[in-house]
Amino acid sequence: MTAHTSPARVARLGQNQYGKAEVRVVRVVRDGATHHLKDLNVSVSLSGAMDDVHLSGSNANVLTTDATKNTVYAFAQKHGVQSAEAFAIHLARHFVTRQEAIHRARVRVEEYAWDRIGPREGGHSFVRDARETRTTEVGYDGTRWQVVSGLKDLVVLNSTDSEFWGFARDEYTTLEETRDRILATEVAARWRFAWNSDDQSPPAWEEEYARVRGHLLDAFAGTYSFSLQQTLYAMGARVIEQTPGVDEIRLSLPNRHHFLVDLAPFGLENDNEVYYAADRPYGLIEGTVLREGAEAAIPVTD
Ligand SMILES: O=c1[nH]c(=O)c2[nH]c(=O)[nH]c2[nH]1
């Protein structure tokens, strides 16, 4: 190399995205004396013609993350929050169609549920329902939509109808076989809708959520289990079979082990009655169930 030759470039900009994370927005609908509440945590990621901001210092293509946050609040007022999915779709469409430099938007929403205190109708008092967190992730590139909705922290337990035996053994295997154990897990599930274009009418997001959640719980409760893997497949297959608008579901099921406590030192029997609920380590059982003919598109890791 001569002194005048510029050195070979060794670095190159790869995938990049930017936006505002965790915009907490609470929307109240005042229907006379009856108030309704939506409580969301919204994260927006934008990508597109963003080489300059990384390479040259020009911010000309940068819609500020501050404006992104403001848009979330303004849209909550202007459009309301019919569902987490509908709200995310509104936002993604806005960013991609209004800013030439933005070619793709990903909007993630977590939704926290509140129950009414007092009569089912009426009132303005709520108690946070700690059951589970609802999630959605909407992707839009100006043409195609991808909506992956889900839930996390849904804790479930079967106190019987679970066995685990006949497993492979090596020199480190000490686990005893069991014909009756507690099966407990904290369900994290993400399901991808077939809907992907404005040419089709979108699913009824709220109803679909309730339906999928119901199928997950029914399949967990109704499956006589020989492993958490088998239960996982049963839960996913139930959703795919019963929800025509869903093409793919991915489940992550930590095995919340419940170990029988040895009470023999105290002269007591323990006939599957007293358990130690361990919090770690835990088995982690994960898998995807697809509609026949559908391609996998939910990322394996998040
Ligand atoms: O349902 C289970 N699946 C496993 O793969 C496993 N491994 C283990 O130790 N316990 C269990 N339980």
Whether residue 153 sits in one domain with residue 136? no
- pLDDT tens digits for 243-256? 999 999 999 999 99
**Residues 249 and 300 occupy one common structural domain:** yes
163, 296: one domain: yes
User: Is the CB of residue 172 less than 8 Å from the CB of residue 151?
Assistant: no
The reported pLDDT for the residue numbered 130 is 82
How far, in Å, is the centroid of ligand 1 from the Cα of 141?
41
Task: Indicate whether 263 belongs to any domain.
Answer: yes
Same structural domain, 27 and 138: yes
Mean pLDDT, residues 294-299: 97
Structural domain span for residue 208: 146-302
Q: Is the same domain home to 132 and 153?
A: no
Residues 277 and 205 in one domain: yes
* In-domain check, residue 221: yes
| Domain identity same for 160 and 275 | yes
List C-alpha distances in Å: 82 to 29, 136, 140, 283. 11, 14, 19, 37
pLDDT of residue 86: 98
Rounded Cα distance, 193 and 244, in Å: 9
Residues 6+ apart with CB under 8 A from 140: 89, 92, 93, 96, 104, 105, 146
Sign, CA dihedral 277-156-174-270, equals positive
- Shared domain for 129 and 165, answered yes or no, is no
126 found inside a domain:
yes
Nearest atom (ligand 1) to Cα of 162:
1
The confidence score (pLDDT) of residue 6 equals 64
The burial class, CB within 10 Å (0-12 / 13-18 / 19+), for 128 is exposed
Ligand 1 within 6 A of CB of 227: yes
Tens digit of each residue's pLDDT (9 = 90 or more) over 52-65: 999 999 999 999 99
Out of 101, 127, 143, pick the residue that ends a domain. 143
How far is residue 122 from each of residues 43, 118, 159, 190, measured CA to CA in Å?
32, 8, 38, 33
CATH number at residue 58: 3.10.270.10
- Please give the backbone phi and psi of residue 103, each rounded to the nearest 5 degrees, phi first: -105, -20
pLDDT for the residue 222: 98
- Of the residues 143, 162, 180, the one at which a domain ends: 143
Element at 68 (helix H, strand E): helix 65-78
Tens of pLDDT, residues 5-26: 667 889 999 999 999 999 999 9
Backbone φ, ψ for residue 53 (5° rounding): -65, -30
Do 173 and 139 lie in one domain? The reply is no
Can you tell me the mean pLDDT for 30-51?
97
> Average pLDDT over the chain, rounded to whole?
96
Please state the rounded mean pLDDT for residues 27-50: 97
How large is the ipTM?
A: 0.99
From the list 281, 22, 239, the residue with the least C-alpha distance to 150 is 239
> Pick from 276, 288, 300: which is nearest to 184 by CA?
276
Q: Decide if 166 is inside a domain.
A: yes
pLDDT of amino acid 122:
79
Considering the domain architecture, whether residues 233 and 202 belong to the same structural domain is answered as: yes
How would DSSP label each residue in 136-165?
A: EEEEE-SS-EEEEEEEEEEEEEESSSB-B-
Query: Is it the case that residue 263 has pLDDT exceeding 70?
Result: yes
Q: Does the active-site annotation cover 20?
A: yes
In a domain, 131, yes or no: yes
Establish whether residue 255 lines the binding site of ligand 1, counting it when its CB lies within 6 angstroms of any ligand atom.
Answer: yes
Residue 286 has pLDDT above 60, yes or no: yes
Our count of domains for the chain comes to 2
Query: Does the residue 1 lie in any domain?
Result: no
Of 119, 143, 167, the position where a domain reaches its end is: 143
Catalytic entry in 38, 90, 94, 257: 257
∠81-203-253 over CA atoms, to 5°? Answer: 85
Q: 283 in ligand 1 pocket by Cβ < 6 Å?
A: yes
For 125, the token pair is 């008092």
What confidence category does residue 1 fall into, taking pLDDT thresholds of 50, 70 and 90?
Answer: very low
* 30 found inside a domain: yes
- Whether 160 is covered by a domain: the verdict is yes
Residue 163 has pLDDT above 70, yes or no: yes
Residues 6+ apart with CB under 8 A from 231: 183, 219, 220, 223, 225, 253
Report the pLDDT value the prediction gives residue 136, as an integer from 0 to 100.
98
Ligand 1, atom 8: closest residue by C-alpha: 283
- pLDDT given for residue 118 in this prediction: 85
Mean pLDDT calculated for residue range 70-96: 98
